[in-house]
C-alpha cells in the first residue's frame, strides 16, 4: 500500500462528497440519520465491507450521528484504499436515507 502525496489527496478528497481531511493523515465524515437504528444498520454494513477489505475505520455513534474516520496505518497516511472505502460508504449511505 503506497501512501498518497498531498496533491493526490487533495484531488481525491475534492471528489468525495462531505469528507474532510483531518490531521493531514485521516479522512473523516459525519453521517446523520432519521433514527438511531438506521444509523446502526449503516454501521453494520460498512463494518462488513471494511472487514472484507481488512481495512478498518474508526466509527463513533452519537445517537443519530455516525462519524467515520479512516487512514492506513502501515502506510502512515492515506492510500487509494481509504478513498475507495469512503466512496463505498457514501454509496451505502445514499441507500439508507
Give the number of other CB atoms < 10 A from CB of residue 25: 16
Q: Give residue-wise pLDDT tens across range 32-89.
A: 999 999 999 999 999 999 999 999 999 999 999 999 999 999 999 999 999 999 999 9
User: What's the whole-number average pLDDT of the chain?
Assistant: 96
pLDDT at 24 over 90: no
List the chain domain ranges: 6-96
CATH number of 6-96: 3.30.1360.20
pLDDT score of 87: 98
Amino acid at each position: 500500500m503506497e501512501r498518497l502525496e498531498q496533491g493526490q489527496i487533495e484531488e481525491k478528497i475534492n471528489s468525495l462528497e462531505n469528507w474532510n481531511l483531518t490531521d493531514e493523515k485521516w479522512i473523516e465524515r459525519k453521517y446523520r440519520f432519521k433514527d438511531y437504528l438506521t444509523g446502526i444498520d449503516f454501521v453494520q454494513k460498512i463494518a462488513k465491507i471494511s472487514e472484507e477489505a481488512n481495512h478498518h475505520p474508526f466509527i463513533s455513534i452519537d445517537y443519530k450521528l455516525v462519524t467515520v474516520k479512516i487512514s492506513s496505518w502501515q502506510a502512515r497516511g492515506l492510500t487509494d484504499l481509504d478513498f475507495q472505502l469512503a466512496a463505498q460508504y457514501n454509496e451505502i449511505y445514499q441507500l439508507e436515507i
